[in-house]
């Protein structure tokens, strides 16, 4: 989209000479697709996560062409198949759920905890209790009995929304009790730290990061899957590249021919090219610098919107990667709708977005599982109240000030109090 010089985009990647040089290096090397840059990016990513906050050794990082591909591979490696149930927050991007359907498993939505944008551990457990009793996933709505998918729950995908880590202690304890695999959707969460110092994405069986254009570390499109389970990591390495096993070369031939391979599974084409890995390495090298910039912007917003306005600040904590700034509008104290607020912010040439439109109201999921808006009231409330403000490293003070002034002016003009 074309932008005027005075416009403040919703997101903008932080690309400097280091990123440009990295891409040029690969362009000039004669090797553009998966190769040594990807290997180096994976090794550096692992080193980052196992560095100061890392707890347990043995983490493997596997680069892929998107977090969506990574989530798909993660579920496949966990053995999810037709009819299995996978629990997913209703309040997330569609990738988190669609990968369940790729494998012909069923999505079971769980609401967010009040006042947060995270899967509610209590609601998660209540859903599991119903499923284990042989009831449908959702409580009674019309007449006797419950409704929604029935079957064996196999996995849960908590989403570290906006870069704030979920309550992983609670989620892991529930997952252990019910024998669930845990796949952390860490698309927003690089780098996010839990209170015990571990990095988000390294607690469950797998973690999946996104390097999409608007994310905290970007390669334009891309992702990384991390796991400590060598079997899972081996399966992902195989399946991201057509199910091709190159190790057979060592077993069946003593020549140096590198052309031989065997296909041992119907895999996918989900590899990351070297061009993007080089970009990722340059971004990774400045990940903490980018984090500090985002934190400064978010802190400026926190101070500006702290009190006196009909808005609520996003929940945060010391390990928050501050990928998003989801401001809640207290609509009962405003004489304007959320959509009109968005229109007014856009009219002031400031980018704004909504994270997320909950999945239970998306026609595909609504119709497949006979869901109504009221089934996930917290997700619905968040959706109706929230606006995401621009938050990207490189924002100038004048730009931050303008966002604050625009939002404050609208909130004050339409305030009922």
Ligand X SMILES: Cc1ncc(COP(=O)(O)O)c(C=O)c1O
DSSP one-letter code for 164: P
163: alpha, beta or left? (left if phi > 0; alpha if psi -120 to 50)? left
How far is 191 from 52, CA to CA, in rounded Å? Answer: 12
Q: Which of 154, 215, 269, 340 is catalytic?
A: 215
185 binds ligand X (CB under 6 A): yes
Active site residue 344: no
CB 382 within 8 A of CB 112: yes
314 binds ligand X (CB under 6 A): no
Which of 29/353 has CB closer to ligand X? 353
Span of 10-18, 180-188, 247-255, 313-321 interacting with ligand X by CB under 6 A? 180-188
The Cβ of residue 54 has, within 10 Å, a number of other Cβ atoms equal to: 16
Span of 62-70, 174-182, 249-257, 345-353 interacting with ligand X by CB under 6 A? 62-70
68 binds ligand X (CB under 6 A): yes
CB 401 within 8 A of CB 320: no
How far is 208 from 194, CA to CA, in rounded Å? Answer: 16
Which of 188/328 has CB closer to ligand X? 188
Q: Tell which one of 67, 80, 389, 403 touches ligand X (CB under 6 A).
A: 67
Which of 294/344 has CB closer to ligand X? 294
Span of 61-69, 138-146, 254-262, 269-277 interacting with ligand X by CB under 6 A? 61-69
382 binds ligand X (CB under 6 A): no
Which residues does 25 contact at the CB level (< 8 Å), separation at least 6?
278
95 binds ligand X (CB under 6 A): yes
219 binds ligand X (CB under 6 A): no
Identify the H or E element spanning 302. helix 287-304
Closest-CA residue to 77 (of 238, 188, 209): 238
Which of 110/400 has CB closer to ligand X? 110
What is the nearest approach in angstroms of ligand X to the Cβ of residue 133? 30
93 binds ligand X (CB under 6 A): yes
Closest-CA residue to 183 (of 130, 235, 231, 225): 225
What is the nearest approach in angstroms of ligand X to the Cβ of residue 269? 15
How far is 166 from 121, CA to CA, in rounded Å? Answer: 10
Which of 185/274 has CB closer to ligand X? 185
111 binds ligand X (CB under 6 A): no
Which of 212/369 has CB closer to ligand X? 212
Kindly report the three-state secondary structure assignment for every residue of 208-275.
EEECECCCCCCCECCEEEEECCHHHHHHHHHHCECCEECCHHHHHCCCCCCCCCEECCCCCECCCCHH
What is the nearest approach in angstroms of ligand X to the Cβ of residue 88? 10
Identify the H or E element spanning 352. none
How far is 340 from 67, CA to CA, in rounded Å? Answer: 33
What is the nearest approach in angstroms of ligand X to the Cβ of residue 91? 9
379 binds ligand X (CB under 6 A): no
CB 178 within 8 A of CB 131: no
Which of 97/400 has CB closer to ligand X? 97
Which residues does 240 contact at the CB level (< 8 Å), separation at least 6?
62, 64, 69, 73, 267, 268, 270, 271
Longest dimension (CA), the chain: 81
Span of 65-73, 114-122, 166-174, 327-335 interacting with ligand X by CB under 6 A? 65-73
184 binds ligand X (CB under 6 A): no
325 binds ligand X (CB under 6 A): no
159 binds ligand X (CB under 6 A): yes
Sites for ligand X among residues 222-261 (CB under 6 A): 223
Which of 187/327 has CB closer to ligand X? 187
Closest-CA residue to 131 (of 159, 156, 158, 94): 156
Residues making up the chain, counted from first to last: 417
Span of 16-24, 88-96, 285-293, 314-322 interacting with ligand X by CB under 6 A? 88-96
What is the nearest approach in angstroms of ligand X to the Cβ of residue 397? 28
96 binds ligand X (CB under 6 A): yes
66 binds ligand X (CB under 6 A): yes
187 binds ligand X (CB under 6 A): yes
Strand partners, 37: none
210 binds ligand X (CB under 6 A): yes
List the catalytic residues. 215
Positions touching ligand X (CB under 6 A) are 66-68, 92-93, 95-96, 159, 185, 187-188, 210, 212, 223
């Amino acid at each position: 989209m074309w932008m005027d010089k005075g416009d403040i985009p919703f997101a903008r990647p932080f690309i400097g000479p280091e990123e440009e040089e990295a891409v040029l290096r690969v362009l000039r090397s004669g090797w553009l697709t998966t190769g040594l840059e990807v290997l180096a990016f994976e090794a550096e990513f692992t080193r980052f996560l196992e560095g100061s906050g890392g707890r347990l050794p043995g983490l493997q990082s596997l680069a892929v062409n998107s977090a969506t591909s990574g989530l798909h591979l993660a579920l496949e490696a966990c053995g999810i198949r037709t009819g299995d149930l996978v629990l997913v927050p209703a309040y997330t991007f569609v990738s988190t759920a669609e990968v369940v359907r790729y494998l012909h498993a069923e999505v079971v939505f769980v609401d967010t905890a009040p006042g947060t944008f995270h899967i509610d551990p209590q609601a998660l457990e209540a859903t599991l209790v119903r499923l284990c009793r042989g009831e449908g996933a959702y409580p009674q709505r019309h007449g006797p009995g419950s409704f929604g998918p029935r079957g064996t729950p196999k996995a849960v995908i908590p989403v570290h929304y906006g870069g704030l880590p979920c309550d992983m202690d609670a989620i892991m304890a529930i997952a252990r009790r019910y024998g669930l695999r845990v796949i952390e959707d860490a698309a927003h969460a690089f780098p996010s730290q839990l209170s015990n110092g571990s990095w988000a994405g390294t607690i469950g069986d797998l973690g999946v990061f996104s390097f999409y254009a608007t994310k905290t570390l970007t390669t334009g499109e891309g992702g990384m899957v991390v796991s400590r389970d060598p079997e899972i990591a081996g399966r992902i390495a195989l399946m991201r590249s057509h199910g091709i096993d190159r190790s057979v070369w060592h077993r069946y031939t003593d020549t140096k021919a590198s052309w031989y391979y065997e296909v041992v599974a119907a895999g996918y084409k989900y590899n990351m090219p070297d061009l993007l890995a080089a970009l990722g390495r340059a971004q990774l090298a400045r990940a903490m610098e980018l984090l500090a910039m985002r934190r400064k912007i978010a802190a400026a917003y926190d101070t500006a919107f702290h009190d006196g306005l009909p808005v609520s600040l996003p929940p945060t904590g010391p390990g928050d990667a501050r990928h998003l700034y989801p401001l809640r509008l207290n609509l009962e104290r405003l004489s304007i709708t959320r959509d009109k607020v968005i229109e007014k912010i856009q009219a002031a040439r400031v980018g704004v977005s909504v994270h997320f439109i909950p999945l239970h109201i998306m026609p595909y999921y609504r119709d497949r599982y006979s869901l109504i808006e009221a089934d996930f009231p917290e997700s619905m409330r968040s959706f109706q109240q929230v606006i995401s403000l621009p938050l990207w490293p490189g924002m100038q003070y004048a730009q931050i000030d303008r966002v604050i002034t625009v939002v404050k002016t609208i909130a004050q003009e339409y305030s009922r109090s």
